[in-house]
Structure 1
Amino acid sequence: MATPAADADFKTKLQTWVPKLVLSPSLALMLVFVYGFILFSVYLSFTDSRILPSYGWVGFENYDKLFRLRHWDIAVNNLIVFAALYIIICSVIGLMLAIFLDQKIRGESVLRPIFLYPMALSFIVTGTAWKWFLDPGIGLEHTMHLWGWESFHFDWIKNRDYAIYTVVLAAVWQSSGFVMAMFLAGLRGIDNEMLKAAQMDGATNFQLYHRIIIPQLRPAFLSAFVILSHLAIKSYDLVVALTGGGPGRATEVPATFMYSYTFTRNQMGIGASSSVIMLMTIVAIMVPYLYSELREKN
């Protein structure tokens, strides 16, 4: 007959091992299909793979070819423009919306989900919707012409010089609400007693935000930067749905470059090397962030 101590010991072991058994299949799949394929892509970037994986070692030859391609230079330049505008505009709009909602206005419970709703959509849906909206033949320009404003023109999506900014518009529309939620959480976490003390000392609203509130939102700014940078680097689906990388290569980014060279141009080695460069860029952003977070906790 089992003793109470043995029963307690069995229950303790069961509570310890059941979560591990439940999570182990997911962990195994993640190790294989995420980290395993990451390592496989890194390996392919050093081989002469073309239409199918090959195991002929070529060293850094694919990277040398990659950085000599004008196509890659265009993709990187487009990403720099897109990422810079995307991060800055999302941060500014998100902060302004968060400050607006933090005023305890009526209807906050209605406005908050409205601002957050775009983030619930996939980038494919967002890109398709904005493609229709910006298409001169069926979208905004066409509607304005039907209303009698014949001189109105907005053909950015067809214009090589402005097409990348349409991608920025769509991405900002989708992500600003999410950034707002991050800043709003930060604002609601600030000590009200500190703000009341500053007000009693004669601080204006501008001084409150400039000297007290916004400096305390540093973790929210850092988190927003990391998340938005990650989304900008892997913005394949939005670009494909909205512009397809065109007109020409006006909206080509490294993510679409990687796909085209791997699956369309049959240059798997060069495509893998571009994916490794994208991975290293994300790592370069994530490592300082994680280091900063761990240092603050310590």
Structure 2
Amino acid sequence: MHQAADAAPLRRPGKRRWSPAALAVAPTFILVAISVYGFIGWSTVISFTSSKYFPQYDFVGFSQYVRLWESDRWNTSVINLVLFSVGFALISLLLGLIIAIFLDQKIRGESTLRMIYLYPMAISLIVTGIAWKWILNPGTGIEHLLRSWGWEGASFNWLVDPKMAVYTLVIAAVWQTAGFVMAIFLAGLRGVDSEIVKAAQLEGAGAFRIYTCIIIPMLRTSMFSAIVILVYQAVRSFDLVVAMTNGGPGYSSDLPTTFMYNSTFLCGQMAQGSASAVMILLVVVVIVVPYLYAEFKHEHNDSSH
């Protein structure tokens, strides 16, 4: 026994050994830390300089942020982001919830319908944008089709109308994402205790009242998750805008992400683009942090019980 104890390797107190799993993850962690958080920090530093085509480190305080909020194009992109986010999120939530309730009725061919509704999520935003650009183009899309059917007065020129172009982005984004929202709500509906529904039916409650007063309020977690995902997706939207409108006509359908790209890479205003990127990051943080806090609090409460 004493020989075996003596043969055992001695561990120095306070010295921690790396596990194989930690060693395997370490390169990825370092790469992410440098390529993501490192460049976030670098962009933040550049936003306080007068950098144009190349980085300069002559700090000018908050002048780039003041200039940013004095820009008509930036303010237009912010207003468009609010319109796009609200329209996209509300319509996707409503449509996704309606489809989920429809599929929750145990209808025939449910799996096929689920696949059809989810199919747009498998398509890239670039393809979606190009397809809807053709569909909504007055010369080749809906307007042209209606006029070819004899309705000469038909007009659907939102894509080339500066006041309506941003709403074409909402149409395409809802088409792409409504099926995903449906899947979130359907999972929540399938998790509702059937005994509660049966008790309500015994009390004489109809289907409409059961859904509006009992089931939908129980989907708060699913709805909160869907809202966070939708708004986050709206804030970072870039591919769809470039493919459909490229921010036009003029800059009437610009979003902050396209403003950042144009400022940094096309107009040679690196500091201005970095300042807009920091503002976008702050919006994402405001959206994501409460969600992560709620998830952490929920898991903590579950573990305590």
Task: Return the TM-score normalized by structure 1.
Answer: 0.92
What is the DSSP-based 3-state SS (H/G/I as helix, E as strand, rest coil) of the residue aligned with 1:48? coil
Distance between the aligned counterparts of 2:135 and 2:22, measured in 1? 49
Residue 183 of structure 1 deviates from its aligned partner by: 0.4
Quick check: 1:90 aligned with 2:92?
Answer: yes
What is the DSSP-based 3-state SS (H/G/I as helix, E as strand, rest coil) of the residue aligned with 2:223? helix
1:1-298 to structure 2, matched below 5 A, reads 17-297=19-299, 298=301
Distance between the aligned counterparts of 1:138 and 1:19, measured in 2? 56
What is the DSSP-based 3-state SS (H/G/I as helix, E as strand, rest coil) of the residue aligned with 1:53? coil
What is the DSSP-based 3-state SS (H/G/I as helix, E as strand, rest coil) of the residue aligned with 1:25? helix
Q: Which amino acid aligns with 2:174?
A: V
The size of the alignment, in residue pairs, is 285
What is the DSSP-based 3-state SS (H/G/I as helix, E as strand, rest coil) of the residue aligned with 1:261? helix
Residue 30 of structure 1 deviates from its aligned partner by: 1.2
What is the DSSP-based 3-state SS (H/G/I as helix, E as strand, rest coil) of the residue aligned with 1:160? coil
Instruction: Provide runs of 4+ in structure 1 moved above 4 Å.
Output: none
Residue 161 of structure 1 deviates from its aligned partner by: 1.4
Residue 222 of structure 1 deviates from its aligned partner by: 0.6
What is the DSSP-based 3-state SS (H/G/I as helix, E as strand, rest coil) of the residue aligned with 1:148? coil
Which stretch of structure 1 is more off in the superposition, 48-57 or 90-99? 48-57
Distance between the aligned counterparts of 1:288 and 1:186, measured in 2? 21
Distance between the aligned counterparts of 2:146 and 2:285, measured in 1? 46
Which stretch of structure 1 is more off in the superposition, 136-145 or 117-126? 136-145
Partner of 1:11: none
Distance between the aligned counterparts of 1:120 and 1:17, measured in 2? 38
Encode CA deviations 1:267-289: one digit per residue, 9 max, x unaligned: 11111011101110111111112
Gapped regions of structure 2 (runs ≥ 5): 9-17
Distance between the aligned counterparts of 2:111 and 2:265, measured in 1? 46
Encode CA deviations 1:91-137: one digit per residue, 9 max, x unaligned: 00000000000000001110001100111111111101100111111
What is the DSSP-based 3-state SS (H/G/I as helix, E as strand, rest coil) of the residue aligned with 1:263? helix
Which stretch of structure 1 is more off in the superposition, 169-178 or 197-206? 197-206
Distance between the aligned counterparts of 2:119 and 2:55, measured in 1? 41
Distance between the aligned counterparts of 1:155 and 1:115, measured in 2? 27
Distance between the aligned counterparts of 2:22 and 2:126, measured in 1? 36
Residue 143 of structure 1 deviates from its aligned partner by: 2.2
Distance between the aligned counterparts of 2:107 and 2:25, measured in 1? 43
Residue 88 of structure 1 deviates from its aligned partner by: 0.3
> CA RMSD of the aligned region, Å?
1.5
Which of 1 and 2 has greater Rg? Answer: 2
Q: Which amino acid aligns with 1:62?
A: Q
Encode CA deviations 1:199-250: one digit per residue, 9 max, x unaligned: 1122221221122101110011111111011110111110010001001111
What is the DSSP-based 3-state SS (H/G/I as helix, E as strand, rest coil) of the residue aligned with 1:244? coil
Q: Which amino acid aligns with 1:176?
A: A
Gapped regions of structure 1 (runs ≥ 5): 7-15
Residue 35 of structure 1 deviates from its aligned partner by: 1.2
Residue 139 of structure 1 deviates from its aligned partner by: 1.6
Residue 149 of structure 1 deviates from its aligned partner by: 2.5
Distance between the aligned counterparts of 1:295 and 1:25, measured in 2? 30
Distance between the aligned counterparts of 2:56 and 2:190, measured in 1? 55
Encode CA deviations 1:139-190: one digit per residue, 9 max, x unaligned: 2222222233322221110111111111100000000000000000000011
